[in-house]
Structure 1
C-alpha cells in the first residue's frame, strides 16, 4: 500500500497495478459480468474516480489487464527458462519446457483471459481491441517457446510442432476450467514430450 511519503508517480504506479491485479482476480473468480470498474475499484481499495483516472472506460481497464497478464506470464517464463537451463539436454528438458507451457494455461491468468475472449467474440468493439493484442501475444509466446526448446524456427517442421504444442496447451487449459484435469494432463505431457523430442531432435 502506498504511503503519503511516497512520490506521486510511485503512488500512481502502485494504484494502477492494484487495479490491474484486481481486474484479473475478478475475471478469474467471478467472471466477466462482475468485473466492472466499480467492483474492481472496490477490490483494489481505490475510489471509482481514481480507477477512471487510470482507465477511463471498462474496455481500457480490460485491455490493460490483458497486457499486464501477458507481461506477468512472460516474467514467469523467463524465471522458468533459468530453471530449465540447468536441466541436461534430452527428453527431460523437452518435458520441462512442455510442462511449463501447458501449466501456464491452467493458471488464474488464463482463466481471466478466457473470460475476455468469450465476451469479445460477441462484442465487435472489444474484439477490435483484443484481436491485435492476441496476435502480438501469440507471436511472442511462440518465440519464447522456440528459445526454450532450442530449435530452429526457420525449419517449417519445427515451427509447426512448436505451434502445435502451444495449441495443445491451450486446449488442455480449457479442459481444466470446469474440473481438475491434472492427472490426465500429466500423462499427456509425458507422451507429447517424448513425441515432440523425437520429432525435433532425432538424428536425420
Structure 2
C-alpha cells in the first residue's frame, strides 16, 4: 500500500501566500485597472514581498493569467451551485431564476477584473493568447451548463442561438453595470428575456415531413 504524505507547514504557507496574491490581483485589477496593477502593488496589498510574489509568478502576465483562471473557476463554481439550486425549482419560476443567476455572474468584482484583463489583452501580445484561450474555454463551459440548466434541446432550430443570446445579454448587462448601478433596469430585462426564452423553448417543433 502506498503512503499518504501530509503537507508540511511550509507547503501550507506557500499555498496561502499564492492565494493571497491571487485575491489581491483580482481586487487591484477591479479597482485600478491594468495600468495600476503592477506586481509590486499586488504584493503590497497581499502583504508579501515582491520577491515572494515573483517566486510564485515569474512575470506580471503569469500572475494575472493565473488570477483570471481563478476568476473563471469561481464563476464556474457559482454556475454549478446554480445548477444544484435550479434542480429544486419547478414550473415557470425555474427559467427566470436561471436567467437571473446568469445575469448575476456578470456583475461584481470578479467580472470587473475579467473586463480589465480583456482590455489589457487587446494591447498586450504576451497576454492576448492566454486570455483568449481561457475565455473560449469558459464560454463553452458556461454555454453547456446553461443548456443543462434550462433543459434546452439544441437540436431544434433557434434554440442554440436563444441560449447564446441569453449569455450575450447577461454580459452586456454586466458591462452596463460597470458605470452605474443598473440593477433596476437589469431586473426588467431579465424578466423579458425569460419570457422570450419560454416562447422559444416551449414552441411546437416544426414538422419537417410536411
Q: TM-score range by the shorter chain?
A: over 0.9
What root-mean-square deviation, in Å, do the aligned CA atoms of Structure 1 and Structure 2 show? 1.5
For the residues of structure 2 that align with 1:28 and 1:62, how far apart are their CA atoms? 12
Structure 2: any 5+ residue segments left out of the alignment? Answer: 1-6, 206-210
1:83, 1:136 → 2: CA distance? Answer: 24
Query: TM-score, with normalisation over the residues of structure 2?
Result: 0.90
Match of 2:146 in 1: 145
Q: Distance in 2 between matches of 1:156 and 1:26?
A: 44
How much does 1:155 deviate? 3.6
User: What is residue 50 of structure 2 aligned with on the other side?
Assistant: 48
Alpha-carbon deviation of 1:50?
Answer: 1.1
Structure (1 or 2) with the greater helix fraction: 1
SS in 2 for 1:33: coil
What secondary structure does 2:127 align onto?
helix
Q: 1:60 to 1:187 in 2, by over 3 A?
A: same
CA distance in 2, matches of 1:71, 1:131: 16
Q: What is the DSSP-based 3-state SS (H/G/I as helix, E as strand, rest coil) of the residue aligned with 1:190? A: helix
2:34 aligned with 1:32: yes
Could you say if the C-alpha distance between residues 156 and 11 of structure 1 is closer, same or farther in structure 2, counting changes exceeding 3 Å?
farther
Per-residue CA deviations over 1:26-64 (Å, capped at 9, x if unaligned) read 111121112111111111111111111111000000100
- Structure 1: state its 5+ residue gaps: none
| Higher Cα Rg, which structure | 2
Alpha-carbon distance in structure 1 between the residues aligned to 2:84 and 2:107: 21
Q: Kindly report which structure 2 residues correspond to 1:1-204, keeping only aligned pairs within 5 A, or say none.
A: 7-90=9-92, 92-204=93-205
* Mapped partners of 1:196, 1:172: distance in 2: 17
- CA distance in 1 between partners of 2:189 and 2:115 (Å): 22
Distance 2:14 2:159 in 1: 44
Deviation readout 1:107-133 (Å, 9 max, x if unpaired)? 211111100101111222211221111
Question: 2:81 and 2:131 mapped to 1: Cα distance?
Answer: 27
Q: What is the aligned length?
A: 199
